[in-house]
């Protein structure tokens, strides 16, 4: 039930791009993306709904492939501030239990 | 400023003692959640509440208890029955998910519980 994220960890140089994937074994209604800095609370990035996509941050976007039950988070021209652990969260229907993925650690170096 | 507060930030307890973690929100959100986070793992849901005086178990509710007597408060008690309570605990809240909508969760700063 917990979505699987890949890769588990990635190291980038400033300006490079990255893709983080989130896969579910069940059909998804929505996918959320959050970023967590070490020792801090997760911060919301964006929500993607079945049948559509909601706008996220600049240079950070996401896609939602309903057939593959998968979402991908795209970080372009990475900045040092992008470092952190990225979590996807999934739900199968509105109001149902929410499941977070195992997280992807992203480190951006100068 | 609206937000979620959790106290204390760090908590130490002896094995076998019950401990209650505080979570308060002034966002006027109906739904509240408790998650547990272990190193290298994602967030696992302990309990959630969609409305006052009602709550449901998440995936790892054993050894935990909650109450929801007020809209703004959702305390979590870690009981002595919880076999491995040392973890980072996060509280979150959201407006209820209406039909056709999925809503973001707002997180508190977390409480790091260490059982000695």
pLDDT digits (tens, 9 = 90+) for B34-44: 999 998 778 99
Residue with tokens 């007020």: B70
Question: Is residue B81 within 8 Å of B63, Cβ to Cβ?
Answer: yes
pLDDT tens by residue, chain B, 116 residues: 679 999 899 999 998 899 999 999 999 998 899 999 998 778 999 999 988 999 999 989 999 999 999 999 999 999 988 889 999 999 999 886 655 456 788 999 999 999 98
Report pLDDT for B95. 82
Q: Is A106 exposed, middle or buried (0-12, 13-18, 19+ CB in 10 A)?
A: buried
Average pLDDT (A33-61) is 81
Nearest to A91 by CA among A39, A17, A44, A30: A30
Q: How far apart are CA A49 and CA A20, in angstroms?
A: 18
Mutant choice from B43, B91, B111, B113 vs A, greatest count of A C-beta within 10 A = B43
Question: Is residue B19 within 8 Å of B78, Cβ to Cβ?
Answer: yes
pLDDT of residue A55 exceeding 60, the answer is: no
Average pLDDT score over chain A: 87
Per-residue confidence band for A54, with pLDDT thresholds at 50, 70 and 90: low
Distant-in-sequence, close-in-space partners of A46: CB < 8 Å, separation ≥ 6:
A32, A33, A54, A55, A56, A57, A60, A62
| Residue contact A94–B48, C-beta within 8 A | no
pLDDT of residue A95 exceeding 60, the answer is: no
Show the tokens assigned to A61: 């976007």
Show the tokens assigned to B71: 């809209």
Compare all CA atoms of chain B with the CA of A101 and give the residue at the minimum distance.
B42
The answer, yes or no, to whether the previous bond of A7 is cis (omega within 30 of 0) is: yes
Nearest to A49 among B35, B90, B102 (CB): B102
| HSE value, Cβ hemisphere, 13 Å, CA-based, for B25 | 26
Per-residue confidence band for A52, with pLDDT thresholds at 50, 70 and 90: low
Of residues A104 and A59, more confidence is placed in A104
């Amino acid at each position: 039930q917990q979505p699987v994220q890949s890769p588990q960890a990635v190291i980038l140089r400033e300006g490079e791009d990255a893709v983080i994937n989130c896969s579910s074994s069940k059909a998804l209604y929505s996918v959320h993306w959050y970023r967590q800095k070490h020792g801090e609370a997760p911060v919301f990035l964006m929500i993607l709904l079945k049948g559509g996509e909601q706008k996220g941050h600049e240079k950070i976007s996401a896609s939602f492939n309903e057939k593959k039950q998968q979402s991908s988070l795209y970080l372009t021209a990475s900045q040092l501030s992008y470092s952190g652990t990225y979590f996807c969260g999934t739900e199968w229907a509105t109001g149902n239990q929410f499941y977070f993925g195992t997280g992807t650690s992203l480190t951006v170096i100068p | 400023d609206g937000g979620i507060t959790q106290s204390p930030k760090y908590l130490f307890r002896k094995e076998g003692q019950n401990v209650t973690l505080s979570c308060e929100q002034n966002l006027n959100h109906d739904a509240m959640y408790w998650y547990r986070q272990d190193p290298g793992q994602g967030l696992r849901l302990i309990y959630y509440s969609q409305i006052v005086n009602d709550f449901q178990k998440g995936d790892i509710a054993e050894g935990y208890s909650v109450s929801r007597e007020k809209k703004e408060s959702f305390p979590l008690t870690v009981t002595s029955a919880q076999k491995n309570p040392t973890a980072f605990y996060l509280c979150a809240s959201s407006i209820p998910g209406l039909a056709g909508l999925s809503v973001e969760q707002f997180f508190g700063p977390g409480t790091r519980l260490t059982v000695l």
